[in-house]
Amino acid sequence: MKKTKTLLTTLLLFICLFQATNVKAQTYIKGNLPLAAVLIPNIAVETSIGGNWSFQTSATASFWESVNGGPQKFFFLITEFRYHLKAIDEGFFGGLNVGGANFKMQKYNYWDTDKYQVGYAYLGGISIGYNHKLNDKWGLEVFIGGGFIGSYYRGFLLSTGEQYDRDEAQDWGRHFDISGDWLPYEGGLMLTYKL
């Protein structure tokens, strides 16, 4: 799991540096204010790729060891192509995104149980949002996005640490449990800064 986190972090930094240094266009760095308030960093880099189109890479990480007694640790990396109705820094936009995640957490339908899950996921969906320019450098962006999340995970008991789903997964000839959900997976209010 640590190798995966290191690889994803390195990939994100490479993409961010590439976008910031090699693209001579409008480039913005962003931070999600509501998530920062609960100590879950969500940063993004968005750059114009011509006309009203832009490309964004975002990363979200939670390091919480315990929320209601269960772990809520995860890392999401999402790439997105966006179309802006006016300009990259003002007005409405829509986007198509794909990404991946790894997690050690209680999935939403296990919050009142003794169970948590460890695994990884892929995701794909859409987003909509609105950019408001505050001045030449600063702006605000409100957005929401969601779609399909496919998860591969193992389930464990909080009380003992034992794997609870081993027999069920092996009956199907798998090493992981599998689930698919249609959910919102990104959103918030970004403070944006033009480089």
Quote the CA–CA distance of 123 and 138 in Å, as a whole number. Answer: 30
Strand stretches in 158-176, DSSP E: none
The rounded percent of the chain whose pLDDT value lies above 90 is: 67
**Predicted pLDDT at 131:** 97
pTM, full prediction = 0.81
Q: How many CB atoms lie within 10 A of CB 116?
A: 25
Task: Give me the CATH topology for the region 2-103+124-147+185-194.
Answer: Porin (2.40.160)
On whether the CB atoms of residues 4 and 120 are closer than 8 A, the answer is yes
Domain ranges of the chain: 2-103+124-147+185-194
Q: ∠ CA 84-85-91 to the nearest 5 degrees?
A: 85
User: Greater confidence, 12 or 77?
Assistant: 77
**Predicted pLDDT at 110:** 86
